[in-house]
Amino acid sequence: MTDSAITEQTILAGLDAGEFVYYYQPKVSLITGKVIGAEALIRWQRPDGQTVLPNDFIPLAEQTGLIKQISYRMFAKLARDLLIFSDIDSRLVTSVNASAQDFADGRFCTMVLETLEQLCIPTKNLQIEITETTVLNADPDVRKNIQTLCDAGVGLAMDDYGTGYSTLETLSQWPFTTIKLDRSIVGRMLDNPKNQTIAESSIRMAHELDIGIVAEGVESDLQYQMLLESGCTKVQGYWLSRPLPLSDFIYFIQQDLRWSGLPIGLIHMAI
């Protein structure tokens, strides 16, 4: 699909036709080597077999305000998947990306909490990922609605940590439960000692603030080892697994449960 074919109308038609799905990228504990959850990443599966990635339609959806409909309507799908995951292992935490507009009024939050309650899914099994830009430009309503989710027990992750400006202030003023170390930092860790120090101090800070830390974009054994030595506790990245369609992710966690003790790095080769 060419860029010009991605319009408000085609996105809406795709939503109506159920062409949007979530892929799930496993997150793994560096302490146990086990899958602890996943990040839900939206994909647009066109009838012609093409899969359109979020960077090709989320910016337009945000510009036009359509993102609110996407997030709202896709949550029902996400919740059904959460139910499957919690049946397999009730400790799995799934995170989903959200945009500032999702919190401009209380409808998204209310629907999320009602849906979780109806399906008896504990709020702790869900985490919302927002970027620092969302936080920096947040008006009082956005803040209030995010706080409502957090008060109900939903986790809040700061996405792409290390790419913004005033992260320290933001972290102390918002109820973040996790930071996600951006893949640009993880990717440069091995280049020189300075970058390693930046990664290590972020990890230390998260521990001192008593919040979780997930390193994103782990692509090699060397990065994995360095994160392990730096005290990082959770990782996500192609080296562990690419984002997987629902059925593949389910297979992935089932294999992981069955083969406890499988050395990390072989997990992704097992499927």
216 catalytic? Reply is yes
Is 132 an interacting residue with respect to Mg ion (CB under 5 A)? no
CB of 234 to Mg ion, least distance (A): 13
Is 41 an interacting residue with respect to ligand C2E (CB under 6 A)? yes
Is 202 an interacting residue with respect to Mg ion (CB under 5 A)? no
Site string for ligand C2E, 226-265 (x = CB under 6 A): -----------xx----x----------------------
For helices 246-258 and 67-88, give the axis angle rounded to 10 degrees. 30
Q: Whose Cβ is closer to ligand C2E: residue 121's or residue 214's? A: 214
Confirm if 177 and 130 have CB atoms less than 8 A apart.
no
Cα distance between the two ends of the chain:
30
Question: Of 215, 160, 164, which is closest to residue 189 (Cα–Cα)?
Answer: 215
Catalytic residue of the set 39, 129, 200, 216: 216
Is 58 an interacting residue with respect to ligand C2E (CB under 6 A)? yes
Residue 118 token pair? 């109806």
Q: Whose Cβ is closer to ligand C2E: residue 90's or residue 141's? A: 141
Q: Return the residue of 28, 44, 142, 159 that touches ligand C2E, per CB under 6 A.
A: 159
Beta carbons within 10 angstroms of residue 47's beta carbon: 8
Is 129 an interacting residue with respect to Mg ion (CB under 5 A)? yes
Q: Whose Cβ is closer to ligand C2E: residue 90's or residue 107's? A: 107
Is 200 an interacting residue with respect to ligand C2E (CB under 6 A)? no
Beta-carbon contacts of 36 under 8 Å, excluding residues fewer than 6 positions away, are 27, 28, 29, 91, 92, 93, 234
The interface region with ligand C2E, picked from 85-93, 94-102, 138-146, 249-257 by CB under 6 A, is 94-102
Is 167 an interacting residue with respect to ligand C2E (CB under 6 A)? no
User: Which of ligand C2E, Mg ion, none does 81 bind, CB closer than 5 to 8 A by kind?
Assistant: none
Is 25 an interacting residue with respect to ligand C2E (CB under 6 A)? yes
Residues forming contacts to ligand C2E in the complex (CB under 6 A) are: 25, 41-42, 53-55, 58, 67, 96-99, 129, 159-160, 183, 217-219, 237-238, 243
Chain residues binding Mg ion by CB under 5 A are: 97, 129, 159-160, 216
